[in-house]
Amino acid sequence: MAIWNNYGMKRRHFMQHMATAAATIPAMNFLSHVQANASTVANNKKACILMWMGGGPPTIDIWDLKPGSKNGGEFKPIDTAAPGVQISEHMPETAKVFDNLNVVRSMSTREADHGRGRYYMHTGYVPNPTVVHPTFGSVVSYEVGRERSALQIPSFVSVGGGSGQAGFLGMAHAPFVVGNDGQIRNAPDKETRDRLPGRLKMLDAVESNFIKSKRGELPSAHRDVYTNAVNLMTSHQMAAFDVDKAEPALGLEAETAATKAMYNPMPANGQAGGMMGRGNGFGQSLLMARRLVQVGVPFVEVNLGGWDLHNDVFNTLKNQRLPVLDRGISALVTDLKQRGMLDDVTIVWMGEFGRTPRINQNVGRDHWAASWSTMIGGGGLKNGQAIGATNADGNRVADNSKAYQPGDIWATVAYAMGIPLNTVHTSKRGRPMKLANGGTPIKELIG
């Protein structure tokens, strides 16, 4: 029984053991789908980083300003590196790299409740009581993550949490939620790690009867998740979560002070990451996202909350939210570009919905889904554009403009990542589900 006794280095045994365990589970064929050109996905470095703006950002004050309208608010637009595209004066750093990004100004998404909007924007589908649609990160995990056999950590990481469920694609594709410090809670210490092989052997023996006992798929999903957890625990790729750790074989270096400062600048008082207000972990999270992409994670979601600005919208934006956001976006774009990764990594920025063009009596803006903006860029797209438009007061998509749904954004991401657009998944009930709810890539972006 040497396997568990001096387990230390012997990850391979471990994997063999887990592989045998996995083989006893009927492969997830019931989810089978027709996938054209699967080979185009293999061996690429494509990834998507989603910046999720929890609460619903006031895009009328960020990407689609309305100077001269009664809804215009306090901010002025400024020019960007993309000719003819203007954004908020409080996004100056982002403006400088905007030739790598695009704004889609004619989102029209019908769901203005947090829970429903979160679901719709993440999945492309409106909530339905009889089915749980996979959030798009889970779709990428399923389509791309499975192909990356060298990837030992989860193929969908959510920094800061709350990104939805894997639904009918299975628990193994659920987001792996970590805090923005990258700390993995309950990671094993040496003793626990040494005892793991023996324990897992016992576990395998103890729980296989229950899996075979016809009680639905939860018991076998439990085993899949354990397999992923064990892979994670024993992998060198864990270094991706720790910005101070080098793992040369994986191309990871310990991040320099300069890089860290670019994402998360030192304020005058010298305290690291001392941006005021909530969200000062945003830069650190994006840096971690870049490292995760480097080791092959195809989908990382980074959360920045605090956008539910029913009150005092302008002060909060100007003093708290936008400085954090501006710095984060520009650092990520600059860093990815310097490393030659920007053409492979699609950046998406969105929240549940936008906010009312009308300014309410509390100098706030309420929920608004009828006409708002998302941002998308990198990924080898035709960048530096403003797609679509709203009318002069911002409360409708302009007459000559095509209205976009989240499915169109995700279809664009799928296109950029090489996921075939005719991919169809099958719900547990046997209903065919089109990729991104049948959305179409945005024509101007894919050229």
Partner 1 sequence: MKFVPKWTLAVALGASLAVLAGPGTSGLRADEAAEPDPSQMSVVEAVNHFIKVGYEDNEITPSEPASDEEWVRRVYLDVVGRIPTLEEAKEYLEDESPRKRSVLVDKLLESPDYIRNQTTIWTNNCIGRGTPRRVSRRGMEKFFREAFAKNRPWDEVVVDIVTAEGHFEENGAVNYTLAQLQMPDDAVQLTAKTTKLFLGMQVQCTQCHNHPFNNWQQAQFWEFNSFFRQVRKVDHRKTDPNTGRQVDDYSEVVTRDFNGPVYFEKRSGLMQVAFPKYMGKEVAPDAFDRRKEFGKLLVAADNGETPLIAKAFVNRMWGHFFGYGFTRPVDDMGPHNSPSHPEVLDRLAEEFVDSQYDVKKLIQWITSTDAYSLTSQYGEDNEVDDPGAGEVPLFSHMYVKSMQAEQLYDSLIVASNAHKSGRGGWEAQEQQRRRWMQQFVVAFDTDENDEATTFNGTIPQALMMMNSELIDKAVSIERGSFLFETFSKPGSEATKMQELYLAALGRRPTRSEANLAQRMVRSYGAANKAQAYQDLFWALLNSNEFIFNH
Q: Which of the residues 358 through 377 are near partner 1 (CB under 8 A)? A: 362, 366-367
Kindly list the distances between the CA atom of residue 170 and the CA atoms of 281, 301, 406, 425, in Å, as whole numbers in the listed order. 30, 19, 22, 12
Select from 138, 132, 121 the least CA-distant residue to 177: 138
Which residue from 48, 49, 211, 348 is in contact with partner 1, where contact means CB under 8 A?
Answer: 211
Q: Does 228 bind partner 1 (CB under 8 A)?
A: yes
Select from 410, 362, 352, 441 the least CA-distant residue to 52: 352
Minimum distance from residue 15 beta carbon to partner 1 (Å) = 17
The position carrying tokens 């998302």 is: 374
Q: Does 70 bind partner 1 (CB under 8 A)?
A: no
Nearest to partner 1 of 45, 310 (CB atom): 310
Which residue from 6, 43, 209, 269 is in contact with partner 1, where contact means CB under 8 A?
Answer: 209
Q: Does 206 bind partner 1 (CB under 8 A)?
A: yes
- 415 φ/ψ angles, rounded to the nearest 5 degrees: -60, -50
* CA–CA gap between residue 71 and residue 85 (Å, rounded): 20
Which residue from 145, 154, 328, 379 is in contact with partner 1, where contact means CB under 8 A?
Answer: 154
Q: Which residues contact 276 (CB under 8 A, 6 or more apart)?
A: 319, 320
Which residue from 113, 147, 343, 444 is in contact with partner 1, where contact means CB under 8 A?
Answer: 113
Minimum distance from residue 241 beta carbon to partner 1 (Å) = 12
Q: Does 393 bind partner 1 (CB under 8 A)?
A: no
Q: Does 122 bind partner 1 (CB under 8 A)?
A: no
Q: Which of residues 271-310 bind partner 1 (CB under 8 A)?
A: 278, 303, 305-306, 308, 310
Minimum distance from residue 186 beta carbon to partner 1 (Å) = 4
* CA–CA gap between residue 426 and residue 439 (Å, rounded): 17
Select from 136, 74, 141, 46 the least CA-distant residue to 346: 46
Q: Which of residues 44-63 bind partner 1 (CB under 8 A)?
A: 54-56
What DSSP designation does 392 have? Answer: T
Q: Does 421 bind partner 1 (CB under 8 A)?
A: no
Q: Does 245 bind partner 1 (CB under 8 A)?
A: no
Size of the site for partner 1 (CB under 8 A): 75
Nearest to partner 1 of 171, 331 (CB atom): 171
Q: Does 221 bind partner 1 (CB under 8 A)?
A: yes
Q: Does 190 bind partner 1 (CB under 8 A)?
A: no
Q: Which residues, in sequence order, are bridge partners of residue 424? A: 434
Q: Are 369 and 397 in contact (CB under 8 A)?
A: no
Minimum distance from residue 212 beta carbon to partner 1 (Å) = 10
Which residue from 6, 186, 271, 400 is in contact with partner 1, where contact means CB under 8 A?
Answer: 186
* CA–CA gap between residue 40 and residue 71 (Å, rounded): 47
Nearest to partner 1 of 20, 422 (CB atom): 20
What is the pattern of x (binds partner 1, CB under 8 A) and - over residues 155-174?
-----xxx--x-----x--x
Burial class, 127, CB count within 10 angstroms (exposed 0-12 / middle 13-18 / buried 19+): middle
DSSP per residue, 82-127 = STT-EEETT-HHHHHTGGGEEEEEEE-----SHHHHHHHHHHSS--
Minimum distance from residue 411 beta carbon to partner 1 (Å) = 24
Q: Which helix (H) or strand (E) holds 354?
A: strand 354-355
Which residue from 33, 96, 116, 396 is in contact with partner 1, where contact means CB under 8 A?
Answer: 116
